[in-house]
Amino acid sequence: GMVLQHDLRQQHGCDRQDANVLIDLKNNIIGIPEVKCIAINPLRPEMMAIGTNDIYTRVYDRRMISLTRVRQYEVNQETVSNSEDNIPRDGCVKYFCPGYLGSKEGYNQYNQKATTYVTFSPDGTELLTNLGSDHIYLYDINSTRLPVFLQLPKLPTTNGTVANGASSDDSTAKLGTHGREKTKHKFPPDVELLKKEGNACLEKNQFLNAIQNYTLAIKKANGKDCAILYLNRATALMKRNWYGDVYAAIRDCHTALALDPYYVKAHFRLARALLKQGNVMDSVTCLEELIRRFPSYAKNPGVLMLDKDIVIEIEKQRVRAIERTQMSNEVESEKERYWRSNAVDYEDRFVGHCNTKTDIKEANYFGDKHYIVAGSDDGNFFVWNRKNGIISSIYHADELIVNCVQPHPYICLLATSGIDHEVRLWSPQSP
């Protein structure tokens, strides 16, 4: 759990007397933290990212850290090493984590997932992490985006004011006289075709293809009156139900509601997604707000069924809470809890590869920032389009597992390696 910093200009004797401990995770984490990977920002060398055997990627400002020495002492006849806590609480470190993971209380960071690789973008503004047993996540290092599970927009009115929903009668009046769900927008022919193809794939349970079609349609529509596309994609994500899909659906529902606050289906889908995510009380609040804003839906069969499902889940959580009463929640220091509670959420994610068998699997930028590449447990390496997150190509590069994917710093050339003894070089060819 330590990161050591050595000055190559100085003589080093490995006698533990040198002050070379930059970071010691054991000072704030109870357990056995392991540092898996390190990256330095190419344009801001004081900025260092580390990936560990938990769900968080940590970015430190090395200018604010004073090097310390390793100390050894005896505990139960065993030699234990640690160092002084040299990390200030404020301004020195920033945590990054997928919102659906960081929000889970009691999540076992040490037995489930680990960051196998972390790197900065060539311009130093983005952070790319490959999370084992999960997906690849891209973060904006300057972002302050926190996870959002329930944040319903206020209802606008035609006279420029906002309905704050102070009372049920007021909300009903506003809805009846000033606001209504937007008329379905007629998309350009290419967007409409993608939407229809997505709907067809959704009906056939081809969720991956459906999500890709809706994503392409959203990109082509450029965010204009496309709330229905976000809602359709949220539906496909919830049905596919890969790691993080329900949380991605929650984000899409929020986007749909931001585009159309009167979109009743988006309210309902958000309440259902919150329940599936395990945020039961948020689901209750969302459903109550839906009924308050749109009273005519109070007896809707779907609404009544969701209400029953919420009651059942509340009882299940009550039982699970009783079973956890004997478990200790003290797994980190006060500073660690503070850093985790302020962890920044991801901007984009890239899915499709498998990262479960080795803990050294890389993910990198390729072609400046236009593509993302990563190895996989099936012997392939994947290439994603950076702008839309869709898989562009898959290439077989190893008989077992592809671990390393390293781009050439100057020319369009990619090196891959895995379990095989060969290192393979890849470059594009003209047709």
What integer is the mean pLDDT of 175-182?
A: 51
| Whole-number pLDDT of residue 280 | 94
User: Which of the two residues, 351 and 74, has the higher pLDDT score?
Assistant: 351
What integer is the mean pLDDT of 279-300?
A: 95
pLDDT per residue as tens digits for the range 246-278: 999 999 999 999 999 999 999 999 999 999 999
- Reported as type and span, the H/E element at residue 204 is none
DSSP-based three-state secondary structure for 310: helix
Closest CA to 1 of 77, 117, 115, 82: 82
Report how far residue 172's alpha carbon sits from residue 174's, in angstroms, rounded to the nearest whole number.
5
| Whole-number pLDDT of residue 319 | 79
- How far, in whole angstroms, is CA 182 from its chain's centroid? 31
pLDDT per residue as tens digits for the range 337-351: 999 999 999 999 999
Confidence band for 34, pLDDT divided at 50, 70 and 90: very high
User: Which of the two residues, 366 and 169, has the higher pLDDT score?
Assistant: 366
| Whole-number pLDDT of residue 16 | 66
Q: Percent of the chain having pLDDT more than 70?
A: 85
Confidence band for 225, pLDDT divided at 50, 70 and 90: confident
User: Which of the two residues, 298 and 156, has the higher pLDDT score?
Assistant: 298
Is the pLDDT at 329 greater than 90? The verdict is: no
Report how far residue 4's alpha carbon sits from residue 14's, in angstroms, rounded to the nearest whole number.
12
- Reported as type and span, the H/E element at residue 371 is strand 371-375
Report how far residue 234's alpha carbon sits from residue 238's, in angstroms, rounded to the nearest whole number.
6
Report how far residue 335's alpha carbon sits from residue 322's, in angstroms, rounded to the nearest whole number.
28
Domain 2-7+17-70+86-147+333-426 carries which CATH code?
2.130.10.10
Place of tokens 């709330």: 227
| Whole-number pLDDT of residue 279 | 94
Quick check: 19 and 67 in contact, CB under 8 A?
A: yes
Is the pLDDT at 158 greater than 70? The verdict is: no
Per-residue tokens: 270? 């958000």
- Residue 376 burial by Cβ neighbours in a 10 Å radius (0-12, 13-18, 19+): buried
Is the pLDDT at 25 greater than 70? The verdict is: yes
Quick check: 27 and 333 in contact, CB under 8 A?
A: yes
Q: Please tell me which of 5-9, 106-110, 168-172, 418-422 the model is most confident about, judged by mean pLDDT.
A: 418-422
Q: Percent of the chain having pLDDT more than 90?
A: 71
Query: Where are the domains positioned within the chain?
Result: 2-7+17-70+86-147+333-426, 189-324
Confidence band for 179, pLDDT divided at 50, 70 and 90: low
- CATH H-level, domain 189-324: superfamily: Tetratricopeptide repeat domain (1.25.40.10)
| Whole-number pLDDT of residue 106 | 44
Task: Report the mean per-residue pLDDT for the chain.
Answer: 87
User: Which of the two residues, 13 and 391, has the higher pLDDT score?
Assistant: 391
Closest CA to 350 of 367, 368, 362, 340: 362
User: What are residue 47's DSSP bridge partners?
Assistant: 61
| Whole-number pLDDT of residue 168 | 35
